Chains A and B, each alone.
Chain A
Amino acid sequence: MTDVKSNVQKAMSGDADAFAQLYSLYAADLYRFALCYLKNEKDAQDAVQDAVLLAFSKIGSLRNEGAFKSWLFKILSNCCKTRLMKNSAAPVFVDISSAEHLGSDEYLPASLKSELLEVLDTLKDEEREIVLLSALAGYKSHEIAKMLGCPSSTVRSRLARALKKMRDQLNYGL
């Protein structure tokens, strides 16, 4: 059993191996989260790397060692958003005739496709984030609320709204 707290403290003093050990606890979940968010391997890899680098460089300011996991997920979530915005940035401004120069499709090798992911795509950013944090990272609404800095009632209502939207589109018989 890895001692999270002592590794956090070591990582805070610049120990990359300790950080990597911490990371190994959540590596699969982080990658999966990024995959679902970005829907292709390349972007997901980049986002996880961005997040890890950013987290390591800033771990000195983490006040509560116990919050490491949610802190890391929050960073990843932001890195994913940045990538998503970046990928969707260009076509927004371009007239259709020249859009092929900038389409985000070129960035999509080995993309992940499923009905569920398409449905996730129909959600607003803040709704998708909450669904993924709940479904993949297993956070409770009050934990997500802390991360996002909004009341947990808002998280609950957003989640409920997102699930309703998804339920209408997915035939899970639930």
Chain B
Amino acid sequence: MNKRDKAFLKRISEELKKDTEKFELPETLKPESIAQLLKENSKAPEINEKEVKKGIYVAWAPSKRVIAAAAAFVIIAAAAVFYIGLDRPPSEIQETAAETEAGLSGDIGSSSFDFKESDKIGNVPADTNLSSVSVTQENNEKEVKGVKKANSYSEIEESIWKARKKAQNSSKFSLKNFFGGLFSFDKVGDIVREDNWLDTPSGSESVGYGRTNEQVEGVAEADIIKNDGRYLYIATQYGVRIVDTANNTLKHTSFIRLGQITKEAFTSFEKSTTVADEYFTRPQNHRILEIFVQGNRLAAIFDYYRPMRVNDTIRQGKSVTGVTVFDISDRSSPKELLHYTQDGYYVSSRIYNGSLSLVTSYDVYYIEGEEEVTKKISIPVIEIQGKADRLAPESIYIPEKSDYQSYLVVGLIKSLEKNSKIDTKAVLGGADSIYQRNENLYTARSIYDGGVRTFEFRSDMVFTDADETEILYFTLKDGNIRLNSRNTVSGGLLNQFAMDEKDGYFRIATGDSRGNNLFVLDKNLNEVGKVTGFAKGERIKSVRFMGDTAYVVTFVLTDPLFVFDLHDPRNPKIVGELKIPGFSEYLHPVGDNLLIGIGLDGTDTGINGDAKISLFDVSDPTKPIEIDHITYPSARISSNHKAFLTIPEKNLYVVTVMQYRQTSAGQLSVLRSFSVENRRIVPKLTYSPAPGIDELRGTYIGSTLYAIDPMWGIWAMDIDSAEVLYSIDFFK
């Protein structure tokens, strides 16, 4: 700091002290009072439930101001989570564990297809060729352990109301009901996702182009950037921009503003207010979250917020998430085909075999002294083409002994066409993260129930701090959603990469302060094998499953890479371990024997602020070796797997790097390429098209790299020279 700044800071300090001098330490904050307060509250700190809820909702509100606070929100949320640490006595925790063992018989299974209900919302078989398979499936309904289908709305309302009373009576707010579903364990700050292309790209097939880095081959994930070999699709919260890359130029083709195109749908939506919706005001600003592009279809995932109006007072309301499908056969004039929403904030989505699955978490808002209103809004509402209705009771599942005041909502759009069949199911609970392999969808939610946890305020370290992870397993077949099983495992979940399915076994890595675990579960989510309590005191930083091997990186001061052998599902075991400074946040396989680790560099005493790319040789699982690494000083590489670009034609990898520079421009985002040659990481070029860019994303077509800042513009650069060839400025 220079002298001038120092003097200025000193002056600020003096002024602030002067400003606050007249405020003496109040009685309540005198050390004696504090000692008293601590003694009174030695069991658990009290927290006003309404306050907590408000604080949370704000993060999901469609407001720019709030979005900007997302980074800070991570920390706040984490801080609040710890309130619940002592919320339930240990006896109750055991009871919870027992719940999952006990099981419950009930009328369980898919209700997604029923001829008599064909006119019901949430159950819209628009396809006429409904096969007998569906019916067979219906007959083969099996029980889901610990979960039952609701018989009536009142049953669901009662369950939620009871949960509410229970939470109230314990005088401490049980955050698990809200936190359980509130956070996606995918990094909050990241807004980018991925995709694949089932259909023929619009560009020339002979030229390679950037495909998003996806976890499961063939299962598309949404992203803010799409590339079909000719057109680039760029989503910001305000709209989707389609840019043509043909003829060595960048040409603006169209801009899809969601609110405009769907105006009619919303007008009719207002008119079709249902019993559950009467308390909600009209939708507020729509915010596009992510998009899919599949051939001539573009699906935009969006959310909006609907405040509640009760007795002429505006209250906190609900987030609603939806999908609008566009026909983009004519890129210059996209046409809306389908509009669908379901209650809840966005968790994630996938497209497999043309069917789009949308997962949200819906928290029922409680209104002081308004039992009737609270009950009425307890049922999730869905809307298809402007027609809104409550989800049918038989599409809602109640876990045994549920004290949840929130839902996991799963929507399945069978095909991206007008009048597609749409099925929706809800389960009391919620979700943080999902994993989908083909037709199998797994949702996971961290449950904060009690027990002692370590206390870390580092935003990147608090996320695995849950006691249990609840897993639900669904199959998505022929446009029907079927809940198969539910179970919980101990420890919290990092992100989608900590889950995997192979040969009918679901594998999941979890962790908390008691240690980290890897579980192998069967189709009924019953545990068949496990490794528990490894790397106690360390946090999971990244996980990658590759066939019968799992790699888990944990971290405290140095970064152990654990290698698991999962050949025998009944007997998973740690076969290798490697400790290196720093840690990897994302692991990317290169062939069978090498693994790229993207993360932070460090010394034996912790991280040092530099970014690091490691290359591990894992050909001998018992002896993983870091064979090479490179570092970028004072930088951080985006750990978002969708920001990891592979250019196979040139044997290149491209990552987004945030450079910390002490200039007025602040953080500078660049793209950097590297290759893996002869077991070495070879740094290649830095693509730095313009200063002061927020977070660049890269994609490519042929030999042109497109550096994209979704808000500002695209720079077309030569992959081999990093020279800017031409660009488009979205504001011109």
Contact = CB atoms under 8 A, between A and B. Distances in A.
Interface string A80-122: 0110011011101111001001100000000010101100000
A20 B34 contact: yes
Given A16-B38, A116-B15, A75 B23 contact: no
Interface string B245-283: 000000000000000000000000000000000000100
Q: For B12, B59, B661, which residue has the most chain A Cβ atoms within 10 angstroms? A: B12
Given A49-B28, A116-B16, A56 B5 contact: no
Interface in B453-494: 453-461
A47 B31 CA distance: 15
Contacts of A136: 13, 16-17
Contacts of A157: 660-663, 666
B75 A78 contact: yes
A65 interface: no
Given A41-B23, A161-B666, A172-B11, A20 B31 contact: yes
Interface residues of A, number: 81
Contact of A16 (B16, B39, B66): B39
A94 B8 CA distance: 39
Contact of B58 (A56, A85, A135): A85
A20 B40 CA distance: 13
B1 A62 contact: no
A91 B663 CA distance: 35
Interface in A112-153: 112, 114, 116-117, 124-126, 131-132, 134-136, 138, 141, 147, 149-153
Contacts of B16: 32, 36, 116, 132, 135-136
A112 B23 contact: yes
A161 B664 contact: yes
Q: Chain A contact residues: over half helix, strand or loop, or mixed?
A: helix
Contact of B57 (A54, A89, A134): A89
A45 B26 contact: yes
Interface in B1-23: 1, 4-5, 7-9, 11-13, 15-17, 19-20, 23
Contact of A174 (B11, B309, B314): B11
A23 B28 CA distance: 13
A71 B480 CA distance: 50
Interface in A57-76: 57-58, 60-62, 71, 74-75
A156 B662 contact: yes
B542 interface: no
Contact of A159 (B1, B45, B61, B309): B1
A6 interface: no
B20 A36 contact: yes
B305 A93 contact: yes
A146 to B, nearest CB: 9
B27 to A, nearest CB: 10
Interface in B647-665: 660-664
B314 A101 contact: yes
Interface in B385-436: none
A54 B29 contact: no
Interface in A151-170: 151-154, 156-161, 163-164, 166-167
Contact of B45 (A20, A54, A61, A89): A54
A41 B26 contact: yes
Interface stretch (B82-90, B98-106, B543-551, B564-572): B82-90
A31 B29 contact: yes
Contacts of A82: 55, 76, 79-80
A75 B54 contact: no
B240 to A, nearest CB: 24
A124 B15 CA distance: 20
B45 A174 contact: no
Nearest to B50: A86
A28 interface: yes
A135 B55 contact: no
B313 A101 contact: yes
Interface string B31-69: 110110111011011110001001101110101011011
Given A89-B55, A163-B5, A174-B4, A23 B34 contact: yes
B54 A86 contact: yes
Contacts of B133: none
B526 interface: no
Contacts of A151: 609, 634, 660
B71 interface: yes
B316 interface: yes
Contact of B31 (A14, A23, A50): A23
Given A93-B284, A114-B19, A166-B12, A24 B7 contact: no
B348 interface: no
A149 B76 contact: no
Contacts of B80: 82
Given A31-B23, A61-B452, A78-B457, A160 B1 contact: yes
A9 interface: no
A52 interface: yes
B455 A58 contact: yes
B97 interface: no
A98 B11 contact: no
A123 to B, nearest CB: 11
Interface of B: 1, 4-5, 7-9, 11-13, 15-17, 19-20, 23, 25-26, 28-32, 34-35, 37-39, 41-42, 44-47, 51, 54-55, 57-59, 61, 63, 65-66, 68-69, 71-73, 75-76, 79-80, 82-83, 85-86, 281, 284, 305, 307, 309, 312-314, 316-317, 452-461, 513, 609, 634, 660-664, 666-667
Given A41-B23, A135-B12, A174-B7, 10 more contacts: A23-B31, A61-B455, A62-B455, A82-B55, A85-B69, A89-B55, A102-B314, A153-B634, A163-B9, A167-B8
30 contacts: A16-B42, A19-B34, A27-B31, A32-B16, A32-B23, A52-B38, A60-B452, A61-B452, A61-B454, A75-B79, A75-B457, A78-B457, A85-B69, A90-B316, A92-B63, A92-B65, A93-B314, A101-B314, A112-B19, A112-B20, A116-B15, A131-B9, A131-B12, A135-B16, A151-B609, A154-B660, A157-B662, A157-B663, A163-B9, A174-B8
The 9 closest A-B pairs by CB, nearest first: A151-B609, A20-B35, A53-B45, A24-B31, A16-B38, A61-B455, A89-B58, A135-B13, A58-B455
